[in-house]
Amino acid sequence: MSDLFAAQVQGRSTALGPQARVLHGFALPFAEALLAGIDAVLAAAPLRHLVTPGGHVMQVAMSNCGRFGWCSDRRGYRYDPNDPQTARPWPAFPPAFLALAGEAAEAAGFPGYRPDACLLNRYAPGTRLSLHQDRDEDDRVAPIVSVSLGLPATFLFGGFARGDKTVRVPLMHGDVVVWGGADRMRFHGVLPVSPGLHPATGECRLNLTFRKVR
């Protein structure tokens, strides 16, 4: 068994790599505040389906909050301080977002985390996100903090080339995945979400992905 992917369970966390881990249930105490924050963000910056540079409509519905928002269109991927749909700045971080992101990062070995962007993803049943790298940030060392809410999903965590072997990580409501440093540029994705009904979110999975763009 490879020690990189050995997935050693230590209490309520599972190692996916030297600087990548799953914090099981870490966001549960924050869930109510996070969901309220999501509602507020989406009221100002509605979910939308972005188009990839290849011209395909993404299955995941997205929005953003924070200083920068991740955007995609036929011209490429980028971070924009404004919502292209409204020409207005993205909503500020709800306070609970920053608290959770900082505490989760610290628990995973990244103290002093100060994200400046948060991508909101909504996965309806059947929705997937194909394997990719987060490579549009200037800072490629600061961790990604990914929070799962609602319906469960299977996270794919791979290597540094698309074709590398992937590990399947079951993620439930309240789980947080943190990867940075040497593991920051690993490919990752999400398998199609199975239909279901979750008390917190209804018929969908919600994901918050924090990044440090600058």
Partner DNA sequence: TAGTAGCG
Partner DNA sequence: GAAC
Residue 53 makes contact with DNA by CB under 7 A: yes
Residue 139 makes contact with DNA by CB under 7 A: no
Options 28, 33, 44, 58; binder of DNA; rule CB under 7 A: 58
Nearer to DNA, 45 or 119 (CB): 119
Instruction: Write out the E strands in 11-116.
Output: 13-17, 20-23, 61-66, 69-73, 76-80, 82-83, 88-89
Q: Are 26 and 12 in contact (CB under 8 A)?
A: yes
Options 28, 40, 47, 52; binder of DNA; rule CB under 7 A: 52
How far apart are alpha carbons 186 and 67 in whole angstroms?
24
156 - beta bridge partners?
168, 189
Cβ of residue 199: shortest distance to DNA, in angstroms? Answer: 27
Cβ of residue 12: shortest distance to DNA, in angstroms? Answer: 26
Options 25, 28, 72, 181; binder of DNA; rule CB under 7 A: 72
Give the three-state DSSP class for 101. helix
Q: Do the bridges between strand 176-179 and strand 20-23 make them parallel or antiparallel, or are there none, so unpaired?
A: antiparallel
Instruction: Write out the E strands in 133-204.
Output: 144-150, 153-157, 167-171, 176-179, 188-190
How far apart are alpha carbons 97 and 91 in whole angstroms?
12
Cβ of residue 161: shortest distance to DNA, in angstroms? Answer: 10
Cβ of residue 24: shortest distance to DNA, in angstroms? Answer: 23
* Mask for 107-136, x = binds DNA (CB under 7 A): ------------x--------xxxxx-x-x
48 labelled binding-site residue: no
Cβ of residue 104: shortest distance to DNA, in angstroms? Answer: 18
132 labelled binding-site residue: yes
173 labelled binding-site residue: no
Number of residues that bind DNA (CB under 7 A): 21
